[in-house]
Each structure stands twice: as C-alpha cells, then as structure tokens.
Amino acid sequence: MTKKTVTDLDVSGKRVIVRVDFNVPLKDGVITDDNRIKGALPTIEYLVKNNAKVILMSHLGKVNHKDAEKTEADKAKNNMAPIAVRLQSYLPESKVTFVAETRGEELEKAISELEDGNIVLMQNTRYEAGESKNDADLAAYWASLGDLFVTDAFGSVHRAHASTVGIANHLPSALGFLVEKEVKFLTEAIYNPQRPFVAILGGAKVSDKINVIENLLDVADKVIVGGGMAYTFYKAMGREIGTSLVEMDRIDVAKAVMEKAGDKLILPVDTVVASEFSPNAEPVTVASDSIPADMMGLDIGPKSIELFKKALDGAKTVVWNGPMGVFEFETFAKGTLEVCKTITELPGALTVIGGGDSAAAAIQLGFKDKITHISTGGGASLEFMEGKELPGIAAIQDK
C-alpha cells in the first residue's frame, strides 16, 4: 500500500477528524447490526490511546434536500443519536459527546473543549445538502475543525462526497485500520489470488453486478452465478422463467457474458420455485429449463448445490457477493446456507465476502468467524471488484 496509514501520523494532542461509516441498519431507532461500528473501533482505540482528540463524522441513510417536508422526515429518521450511545458502550474509557448539529457554535465549542483521548460524534453528514455534492465550502469548513484527517469509512470510499474526499484536500491524511484491512484482503483475492480462484455472484440484479462479472471472468478460474440474476441468463437462453425476476434490458449483456465466458461460467441446473413471494409459499423443485409459467424461482435447488460444491472443491481463493436465493425466508435460504457453509469448510482457502446482503447472510447464518474477511462495504466492495478507483482512497496522501 502506497497510501499513508494512521500510524504514519503524529496524532498526540491533535484534533483528528475520522470519517467512519456508521450507516447501520436501524429499526424504529434501534440498531439491528453494528458490525460497521465495531469495524471502526481499532482505529478509534488507537487514536484514543495515542492521546488524539477524536472527531467522528459519518452519514446515515439518505436525506432528501429537494422537498422541505421530506428533508425534515429524513432527518428525524436518520438521527445519529442512538449510534453515539452504542459507541459509548464500546469505549467506556473515553467520553463520547454527541453533537446534534453539522456546523455552528455547539459543534465548535464541543471540539474546542475536547480533551485528549475523548471523542465528539457529529450529527449525520447528510443533514447538509452540500455533503453529497462534495461542496467545496462545506469541505473547507469541516476541515477547519481538525488538524488531521483519517478515513476509515470503507463502506463509503466509492462516494466522492465532502466528508469522504473534500476534507482530504485540506489536511494531512491517512487510511484507518479498517480501510487498510479491507484493501489488503480484497487486493489479495482479486489481484494476487492463490489458484484455483472461484468467484460466486448472486443477488437480484444483473445490472448491479455486470461489471463485476466481466472483471472477474478475466481473473477468476470459475464464476458461479446464482440468485435472482440467474433468471436473466435463462431468459437469454430462450427458456421459460415463469414469474421470476428478470431484467429484459440486460438480456443482450447476459448473452455476451455467456459467449465470452464459455465453461468458466457456472449456472444453477435446478430451481426452487413457488407461486408467490412469501415466507409461507410452498416450495417446489424443478429443473432450470422447466420453470412453470405461473411460478417464480426463489432459490437454487439441490443439484445446483452439488454442482457448486464440486466447482468449489479445492479452491484456494473464493470471493462471494450476493445471496443464492431469498435467504430472508427460511424456506428459500438453503442454497445460500449451503454455499456459505461450503466456503467455510475449504481447507486453507482465502475467503472474502462482499458487503451488503451476502455479508448479512453469512453473519445471520452464523458463519462470521469462519470467513477470512467479511467486507463492511456493499457498493464499495463491488466497485473494488469491478477494478474501479475508489475516490475516498485516492484522495488520501501517499507515503
């Protein structure tokens, strides 16, 4: 890595702005998954231990700035206050002060009174309309609140926003430990894989993953495709897919991918279908070329599980992004569960799971500690796997 990391900075007594990704799922104001908060703790703890004054910034959800009524509703829904409470519980030695503003006197006062080793968490960066536009004045203002800038928001490094990129233009900067770790594992898997290297892609849409499929076809030995996007491939083969998910405008792309991939691309051979999208729907297993016209595919079938297991046998590197079926419904979770289990049982393999749904699935199914690395970034890990430059990392100073 050519970028500076937090250990390259002299942080003692300094005001260190850390962009974290605390965009965690909330249900009725309660955090339902705090892996992203935990992911940033090593950097925060390091700064605390080294007597920095820590200023944390993150976005949470999305805030509409076009319609005033919606702006207020989104702000109320995406208030960071519960996150400060959770953070304090993980850092009992430090005082975490939450400031419910993104600018002004209260924020400036809290920072000027901040003691070494203590923490200020600022309100949701997206309360500011300028955040997502990478507004130059906003970035300069936020940068004026600190002496140094550290990015540890891996989940947001694909966004060129004021708090991810803009601030970095004003201050000495470095990567935090989470970003460093994410980049290390993703680079090892995609750019320097031990072979055989098998990629598994799933999820609902071909359009989300097409660039990843294309990039991985160049570097992986096999690419397994499951989940909702498999039906667009079947449609491209001229098959009946019933009422399954399909993207008609991606059929040509799917055809082109199949032609280019040859037998590198492995598709499911059977499908668990049902007549409705419901956790209580009756599951029926059919061959993938025999989906009834009035039914939809919701998971891969047992023969596909066997086929995928065989394709994974002996793999030394596995990258997985996107579930094999509707794992949120127990009846249709088997494909995702079995594939995940298979990955965890590969001896000596480097296994990396992209963020988003597949990370949620692996954690929910209890495999968290058996995977080499589960990314905290959904969109960010996808863009990394597409081979794109990530602006939030590019903005950081070189060593």
Longest CA–CA separation in the chain, Å: 68
- Sign (positive or negative) of CA dihedral 81, 84, 89, 95: negative
**Min separation Cβ 261 and ligand 3PG, Å:** 28
CA distance 99 to 96: 10
The rounded distance, in Å, linking the Cα atoms of 163 and 138 is 9
Within residues 357-386, the interface with Mg ion by CB under 5 A covers 379
Please pick, among 356, 377, 378, 392, the residue that the annotation labels catalytic: 356
Closest approach of ligand 3PG to the CB of residue 343, in Å: 23
- Could you say which residues in the range 40-79 bind ligand 3PG, by CB under 6 A? 62
Site string for ligand 3PG, 6-25 (x = CB under 6 A): ---------------x-x--
Q: Of 227 and 356, which has the nearer Cβ to Mg ion?
A: 356
CA distance 350 to 319: 8
Which stretch of DSSP H or E encloses residue 339?
helix 334-344
Residue 379 Cβ, how far from Mg ion at the closest point, in Å? 5
Residue type, 266: I
Contact 153, 392 (CB under 8 A): yes
How open is the CA angle 15-106-125, to the nearest 5 degrees? Answer: 70
Residues 224-263 that bind ligand 3PG (CB under 6 A): none
Tell me the site size for Mg ion, rule CB under 5 A.
Answer: 1
Q: Containing H/E element for 285?
A: strand 284-287
Q: Exactly one of 8, 379, 386, 387 binds ligand 3PG (CB under 6 A); which one?
A: 379
From the list 176, 79, 64, the residue with the least C-alpha distance to 131 is 64
66 catalytic, yes or no? Answer: no
- Residues linked to residue 55 through DSSP beta bridges, in sequence order: 17, 120
Q: H/E element holding 299?
A: strand 296-300
Kindly state the tokens that stand for 45. 């703890």
**Given 205, 303, 316, 341, the catalytic residue:** 205
Question: Which residue's CB is nearer to ligand 3PG, number 156 or number 342?
Answer: 156
- The pair of three-digit structure tokens given for residue 299, joined into one six-digit string: 């998971």
Compute how many residues bind ligand 3PG; rule: CB under 6 A.
8
Q: Which residue is nearest to ligand 3PG (CB)?
A: 23
166 is annotated as an active-site residue: no
Choose from Mg ion, ligand 3PG, none: what does 155 bind? Cβ within 5-8 Å by kind.
Answer: ligand 3PG
In the residue annotation, 195 being an active-site residue is answered as no
Examine residue 376 and tell whether it contacts ligand 3PG (CB under 6 A). no
User: Per-residue x/- marks for ligand 3PG, 144-173, CB under 6 A?
Assistant: -----------xx--x--------------
**Contact, 2 vs 133, CB < 8 A?**
no
Rg of the Cα atoms in the chain: 23
Q: Is 86 a catalytic residue?
A: no
User: Which residues form the interface with ligand 3PG (CB under 6 A)?
Assistant: 21, 23, 62, 155-156, 159, 378-379
User: Which residues form the interface with Mg ion (CB under 5 A)?
Assistant: 379
Catalytic residues: 36, 205, 356, 379
